[in-house]
């Protein structure tokens, strides 16, 4: 069967690139014998067949205007008319209606190609009409594995004609697909290293920009106070380097504020080394993050973390793993002292999720193993067979 993996690929985002990597590794492990490619431009470090060729300008493919939409539409149409199955792989890709979604719904209704989804969130929706459009689309799917219980409840409300699978975030399966164990508790370092990540959300979604400003100010001041008092080393992760939607301005602001206090902090990106970024997060003693997949990476590597609940998907993830209330931080955070105290609790390892990362990983594998087209494989693939050197 000819399978195309579809997602928010090519937008210089760490979490989506991890979806891409996990999908390629998981397909090689659990879907052997199928012809698999990726609907998106090439990602550095992933050896796979991408439908967008290297000569096509990435800036054009990811552009927000009409030219970008038309280019994405053209490559999508090519997949819809030539492939057997389009699999939405990872993320909040089924949350709103758009021209591209409507085209895919029409294609599904006319049986141009089949549709399925793994590791996705369903919703939130802007209004009842948006949810009705999504329901009409999702009823055409042959298989859906969701990453949180809230999405499962939404699909049940939509009365889809299949039994959806609760299979966790797609990236949860990554520890099973890479060599070595990611569940060994690291020895504490002196001084400890705090990994941090930021992101703009309200600014890009029409939300409460003043709340976002207060939150960023509290996070940065709390980090600086703690680092100065305890001598904590700060490692800043810029997990989206897109020139329009990326995090670099916030990362540079924190770096400058730390420098003004006599503390040096490096900025790490995943742009040239996706797994290098994964391992750098895993090597931290604690992680305070706004980017969801910084938190998921920390969790899967047994690193204490706190994830700002700026979006329902963050809350759903934390609820599902049983994150203790003492290690949670809301989108309304505005007190630097509370942020500093939270960092202290993380470094002391005061509390941990009730669901173990080992269990989470095994359940995340169901994104692949529960699919109707899955084929039993005799052995775990070597990472070198799918990772570009």
Q: Given pLDDT bands bounded at 50, 70 and 90, which one contains residue 96?
A: low
pLDDT at position 386 over 70: no
Please name the CATH architecture into which domain 2-167+365-385 falls.
3-Layer(aba) Sandwich (3.40)
Cα dist from 243 to 11, 177, 216, 263, whole Å: 10, 31, 19, 27
Q: What is the pLDDT at residue 187?
A: 65
Q: Which residue reads 């975030």 in tokens? A: 169
Length of the chain: 389
Q: Give the mean model confidence (pLDDT) for residues 16-32.
A: 94
Per-residue model confidence as pLDDT tens digits over 151-191: 999 999 999 999 999 999 999 999 999 977 566 666 666 79
Q: Give the mean model confidence (pLDDT) for residues 180-203.
A: 81
Q: CB-based contacts of 301: which residues, under 8 Å, 6+ apart?
A: 175, 182, 183, 281, 282, 357
Q: What is the pLDDT at residue 10?
A: 83
pLDDT at position 366 over 80: yes
Q: What is the pLDDT at residue 230?
A: 92
Asked whether the whole model's pTM tops 0.95, one would answer no
Q: What is the pLDDT at residue 101?
A: 67
Task: Return the domain boundaries, the chain.
Answer: 2-167+365-385, 193-355
pLDDT at position 346 over 60: yes
Exposed / middle / buried, residue 130 (Cβ in 10 Å: 0-12, 13-18, 19+): middle
Task: Give the CATH number of domain 193-355; options: 3.40.50.2000, 1.10.3470.10, 3.40.50.1970, 3.30.70.980.
Answer: 3.40.50.2000
CA-wise closest residue to 109 among 82, 88, 138, 77: 138
Per the CB < 8 A criterion, the answer to whether 26 and 171 are in contact is no
Phi, psi of 165 (to 5 degrees): -115, 135
Per-residue model confidence as pLDDT tens digits over 37-81: 999 999 888 889 999 999 999 889 988 888 988 999 899 889 988
Count how many Cα atoms sit within 13 Å of the Cα of residue 135 in the half-sphere of its side chain.
16
pLDDT at position 380 over 70: no
d(CA 254, CA 386): 36
Please state which of the ranges 2-16, 109-123, 197-211, 282-296 shows the lowest mean pLDDT.
109-123
Hey, do 2-167+365-385 and 193-355 end up sharing a CATH topology, with the first three levels equal?
yes
Per-residue model confidence as pLDDT tens digits over 216-263: 999 999 999 999 999 999 999 999 998 888 999 999 999 999 999 999
Q: What is the pLDDT at residue 319?
A: 95
Q: What is the pLDDT at residue 188?
A: 65
């Amino acid at each position: 069967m000819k399978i195309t993996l579809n997602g928010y690929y090519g937008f210089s985002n760490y979490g989506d690139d991890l979806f891409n990597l996990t999908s390629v590794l998981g397909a090689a492990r659990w879907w052997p014998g199928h012809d698999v490619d990726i609907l998106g431009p090439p990602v550095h470090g992933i050896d796979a067949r991408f439908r967008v060729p290297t000569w096509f300008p990435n800036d054009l493919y990811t552009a927000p205007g009409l030219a970008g939409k038309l280019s994405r539409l053209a490559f999508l149409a090519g997949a819809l008319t030539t492939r057997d199955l389009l699999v939405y792989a990872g993320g909040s890709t089924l949350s709103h209606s758009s021209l591209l979604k409507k085209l895919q719904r029409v294609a599904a209704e006319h049986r141009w190609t089949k549709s399925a989804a793994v590791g996705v969130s369903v919703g939130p929706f802007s209004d009842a009409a948006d949810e009705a459009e999504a329901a009409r689309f999702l009823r055409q799917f042959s298989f859906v594995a969701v990453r949180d219980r809230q999405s499962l409840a939404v699909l049940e409300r939509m009365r889809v004609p299949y039994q959806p699978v609760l299979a966790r975030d797609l990236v949860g399966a990554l520890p099973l697909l890479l060599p070595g164990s990611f569940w060994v508790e690291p020895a504490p370092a002196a001084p400890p290293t705090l990994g941090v990540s930021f992101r703009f959300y309200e600014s890009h979604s029409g939300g409460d920009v003043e709340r976002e400003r207060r939150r960023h100010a509290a996070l940065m001041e709390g980090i600086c106070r703690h680092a100065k008092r305890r001598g904590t080393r700060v490692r800043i992760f810029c997990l989206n380097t897109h020139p329009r939607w990326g995090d670099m301005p916030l990362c540079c602001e924190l770096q400058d504020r730390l420098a003004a206090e006599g503390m040096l902090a490096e900025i790490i990106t995943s742009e040239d080394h996706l797994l290098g970024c994964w391992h750098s997060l895993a090597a931290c003693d604690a992680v305070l993050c706004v980017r969801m997949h910084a938190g998921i990476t920390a969790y899967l590597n047994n690193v204490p973390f706190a994830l700002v609940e700026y979006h329902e998907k963050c809350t759903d993830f934390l609820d599902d793993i049983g994150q203790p209330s003492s290690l949670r931080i809301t989108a309304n955070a505005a007190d630097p002292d509370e942020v500093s105290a939270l960092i202290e609790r993380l470094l002391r390892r005061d509390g941990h999720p009730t669901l173990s990362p080992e269990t989470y990983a095994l359940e995340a594998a169901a994104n692949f193993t529960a699919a109707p087209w899955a084929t039993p494989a005799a052995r775990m693939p070597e990472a070198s067979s799918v990772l570009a050197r």
